[in-house]
Structure 1
Amino acid sequence: MLIDTVGENLNLAEKVHGAANHVFVFLEIFAREGGIQSYVKDIFRAYSELKPGCRAEVFLLRDSSHCSNPFESDNLKFHYFQNQFSQIGRLTMAVALLKFLVYKRPQHVFCGHINLAVLIQTLCQPLGIPYTVLTYGKEVWEPLKKQEQRALASANSIWTISRYSRDRACAANGLDPQKIKMLACAIDSNKFIPGSKQPELVEKYGLDSTKVLMTVARLWSGDIYKGVDVTIRALPQIAKVFPEIKYLVIGRGDDQPRLAQLAKDLGVSDRVVFAGFVPTEELMAHYRLADAYIMPSQEGFGIVYLEAMTCGVPVLSGDDDGSADPLQDGKLGWRVPHRDPEAVAKACIEILQGNDQRCDGQWLREQAIAVFGMEAFQQRLQELLLS
Structure 2
Amino acid sequence: MPWQKQLIHFWIPNIFEFKGGIQTYSAFLVEALQSLYPDKKYEVFLKHDTCSSPDFSFLENTRFHFAGSLPLRFRTFFFAAQILTNSFYKKPNLVITTHLNFSIAAYWLKRSIGIPYWTVVHGVEAWDIQRPDLKTALQHADRIISVSKYTRDRLLKEQQIDPAKISLLPNTFDADRFQIAPKPEYLLKRYGLTVNNSIILTVARLDKTEQYKGYDQIIQALPEIRRYVPNVHYILVGKGSDRSRIEQLIAQLNLQENVTLAGFIPDSELNDHYNLCDVFAMPSKGEGFGIVYLEALACGKPTLGGNQDGAIDALCDGQLGALVDPDNIIEIAQTLTKILQGNYSHPIMYQPEMLRQKVIDIYGFDRFKQTLKEITQTLK
TM-score w.r.t. length of structure 2: 0.91
Cα distance in 1 for partners of 2:229, 2:183 equals: 20
1:92 corresponds to 2:78: no
CA RMSD of aligned residues (A): 2.1
Paired letter, 1:132? W
Check if 1:284 corresponds to 2:271. yes
In the alignment, which residue of structure 2 is the partner of 1:211?
Answer: 198
Q: Deviations over 1:16-40 (max 9, x none)?
A: xx85442222232223221100111
Residue 260 of structure 1 and its aligned partner are, at CA, apart by 2.0
Q: Which has the larger radius of gyration?
A: 1
Letter paired with 1:246: H
Once the two structures are superposed, what CA deviation does each residue of 1:139-191 show, in whole Å capped at 9, x if it has no partner? 11122321221111011110011111112223333323332111111021100
CA distance in 1, matches of 2:90, 2:53: 23
Q: How does 1:198-347 map to 2 (within 5 A)?
A: 198-208=184-194, 209-298=196-285, 299-347=287-335
Which range is displaced more, 56-65 or 199-208?
56-65
Please point out which of 43, 48, 59 is paired with 1:73.
Answer: 59
Query: Is 1:62–1:80's contact at 8 Å kept on the other side of the alignment?
Result: yes
Aligned length: 369
Greater displacement, 122-131 / 180-189: 122-131
Q: % of aligned pairs identical? A: 35
Mean alpha-carbon deviation: is it higher for 85-94 or for 137-146? 85-94
Paired residue type of 2:264: F
Question: Residue 164 of structure 1 aligns to which amino acid in structure 2?
Answer: Y
TM-score (norm 1): 0.89
Q: Please tell me whether the aligned partners of residues 189 and 310 of structure 1 are also in contact (alpha carbons under 8 angstroms).
A: yes
In the alignment, the residues of structure 2 paired with residue 280 and residue 90 of structure 1 have an alpha-carbon distance, to the nearest angstrom, of 31
2:34 is equivalent to residue 48 of structure 1: yes
Contact kept, 8 Å, 1:124 with 1:130, in 2: the verdict is yes
Tell me the distance in 1 between the aligned counterparts of 2:269 and 2:227: 32
**C-alpha distance in 2 between matches for 1:384 and 1:36:** 20
Tell me if structure 2 keeps the 8 A contact 1:81–1:93: no
Q: Could you list the per-position Cα deviations for residues 113-144 of structure 1 after superposition, in whole angstroms to 9, with x for gaps in the alignment? A: 22211211111234333211111111111223
Give unmatched runs, 5+ long, in structure 1. 1-10
Query: Are residues 1:148 and 2:134 paired?
Result: yes
Counterpart AA for 1:285: D
- Measure, in 1, the Cα distance between the counterparts of 2:207 and 2:221: 20
Question: Does structure 2 conserve the Cα–Cα contact (< 8 Å) formed by 1:81 and 1:90?
Answer: no
AA matched with 1:292: V
**Residue in 2 that maps onto 1:3:** none
Residue 361 of structure 2 aligns with an amino acid whose one-letter code is A
Rate the CA distance shift 1:130–1:227 in 2: closer, same or farther, 3 A. Answer: same
Report the CA distance between 1:321 and its aligned residue.
0.7
Q: CA–CA distance in 1 between the matches of 2:291 and 2:207? A: 18
Q: What's 2:15 paired with?
A: 29
- Say if 1:262 and 1:27 are closer, same or farther in 2 by CA, change over 3 A: closer
Secondary structure of the structure 2 residue equivalent to 1:32: coil
Q: Sort the Cα spacing of 1:329 and 1:217 in 2 relative to 1 into closer, same or farther, 3 A.
A: same
